Amino acid sequence: MPYKFSFDLSRISKAFFRDLANIANQKGLHKKLGGQARHLAEKFRIHEITGLDVSDALVLVEDLVDIYVRNLSNAQSFQETKKRVLFLPHCARKYMDNRCKAHFDPKLPSYVCGHCSKDCLINNATHLAEKKGYKVFVLPGGSCIPEILKRDGYKGVIGVACSDELKMAGEYMQRLGSFGQAIPLTKNGCANTQFNLATLQKVMA
Ligand code: SF4
């Protein structure tokens, strides 16, 4: 189920994401996941800064911890894959109207970036990924991902999406024998969504 709330973590300290990674590194985490997530949400005042309800902030942080834990457990297998793909969300395009020069190719299916804006996240992520040999898909939704993975046989998958979608994707990728690394959006919504390009670059390295 998609979140019923919107969030923007862009004003949260970078230390929050460092602490998330540290928590994911701890042994025996699953037993105390709820407590750790609560502690993190309180320490970084997530609900105050984002304006979320305390319970929504907690759900969000729990999902993020879950994603970081899964990334860590898949990291080695992901590094060993040869054929890789990057899935990006179309809502992170700089423009959502006809100023965006991407065209949609239904055969892929994907938007193909026209590289109209140097400061567009999709443009930058596409450049970085293609230089590293990734096939890039800019998707209007996640429902076609299982079909693409089956059709093209990608084994290493990086997905940029909202945390709730990433959690679901992690489960079916395991069933398909692919190994994923997930980059959660730092701002969700239908347009102008954001993710951390430096994190993506690090994961692709
Ligand atoms: S750089 Fe690409 S994705 Fe971004 S607005 Fe331009 S054409 Fe669209």
102: CATH = 3.40.50
Structural domain range at position 95: 82-205
Q: What is the pLDDT of residue 17?
A: 87
Average of per-residue pLDDT across 29-49 = 82
- 101 C-beta closer than 6 A to ligand 1: yes
Between 118 and 168, the more confident residue is 118
* Cβ-contact 181, 195 below 8 angstroms: no
Identify whether residues 70 and 90 lie together within a single domain. no
- 92 C-beta closer than 6 A to ligand 1: no
pLDDT confidence of 114, banded at 50, 70, 90?
A: very high
Domain boundary pick from 60, 80, 100? 80
- 167 C-beta closer than 6 A to ligand 1: no
pTM of the model: 0.91
* Cβ-contact 30, 55 below 8 angstroms: no
Domain boundary pick from 42, 61, 80? 80
For residue 189, give Cα distances in angstroms to 2, 4, 13, 29: 10, 10, 21, 30
* Cβ-contact 25, 54 below 8 angstroms: no
* Helix (H) or strand (E) segment spanning residue 156: strand 156-161
- 115 C-beta closer than 6 A to ligand 1: yes
For residue 20, being part of any structural domain is answered with yes
pLDDT tens track for 170-199: 877 878 889 999 999 999 998 999 999 999
pLDDT confidence of 28, banded at 50, 70, 90?
A: low
Domain count along the chain: 2
Identify whether residues 76 and 113 lie together within a single domain. no
For residue 2, being part of any structural domain is answered with no
pLDDT at residue 25 is higher than 80: no
Identify whether residues 63 and 134 lie together within a single domain. no
Identify whether residues 90 and 169 lie together within a single domain. yes
Q: What is the pLDDT of residue 30?
A: 56
Average of per-residue pLDDT across 2-7 = 88
CA distance 204 to 132: 8
- 122 C-beta closer than 6 A to ligand 1: yes
Identify whether residues 156 and 58 lie together within a single domain. no
Q: Among 96, 97, 101, 130, which residue has the most ligand 1 atoms within 8 Å of its CB, making it the best to mutate?
A: 101
- What's the CA-to-centroid distance between 28 and ligand 1, angstroms? 43
Average of per-residue pLDDT across 130-147 = 93
* Helix (H) or strand (E) segment spanning residue 84: strand 84-89
* Atom number of ligand 1 nearest to Cα 113: 2
Q: Among 117, 160, 193, which residue has the most ligand 1 atoms within 8 Å of its CB, making it the best to mutate?
A: 117
The residue to which tokens 């590194």 are assigned: 25
pLDDT confidence of 32, banded at 50, 70, 90?
A: low
Q: Alpha-carbon Rg of the chain, whole angstroms?
A: 17
